[in-house]
């Protein structure tokens, strides 16, 4: 996909310098992919924390299964 973005001059210069022999397009794609994965991990972590918090406040496990869960069965 082809797109146009605007970057501050200093950011563009630093990115071009860091890219070295890599094309700016490939460098930008890698940087965006890294940030997208980082955001996805953060969102998953928050969702898991919220799920654990809700489960601690109001357990969904039937009390009869609590012993099996504690024993690791």
Task: Kindly state whether residue 58 falls inside one of the protein's structural domains.
Answer: yes
Task: Kindly state whether residue 14 falls inside one of the protein's structural domains.
Answer: no
Number of domains present in the structure of the chain: 1
Radius of gyration of the chain (CA): 23
What's the confidence (pLDDT) of residue 57? 87
For residue range 5-64, what is the model confidence (pLDDT) as tens digits?
Answer: 999 999 999 999 999 999 999 999 999 999 999 999 999 999 999 999 998 888 887 777
Say if residues 7 and 15 touch (Cβ distance below 8 Å). Answer: yes
Task: Kindly state whether residue 7 falls inside one of the protein's structural domains.
Answer: no
Q: Which domain holds residue 54?
A: 33-73
The reported pTM is: 0.69
Task: Kindly state whether residue 49 falls inside one of the protein's structural domains.
Answer: yes
Rounded to whole angstroms, the Cα distance separating 21 from 27 reads 10
Split at pLDDT 50, 70, 90, the class of 72 is low
């Amino acid at each position: 996909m082809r797109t146009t973005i605007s970057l501050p001059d200093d950011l563009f210069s630093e990115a071009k310098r860091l890219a070295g022999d890599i094309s700016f397009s490939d460098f930008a794609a890698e940087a965006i992919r890294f940030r997208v994965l980082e955001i996805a991990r953060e969102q998953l972590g928050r969702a898991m924390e919220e799920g654990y918090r809700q489960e601690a406040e109001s357990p969904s496990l039937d009390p009869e299964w609590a012993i099996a869960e504690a024993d690791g069965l």
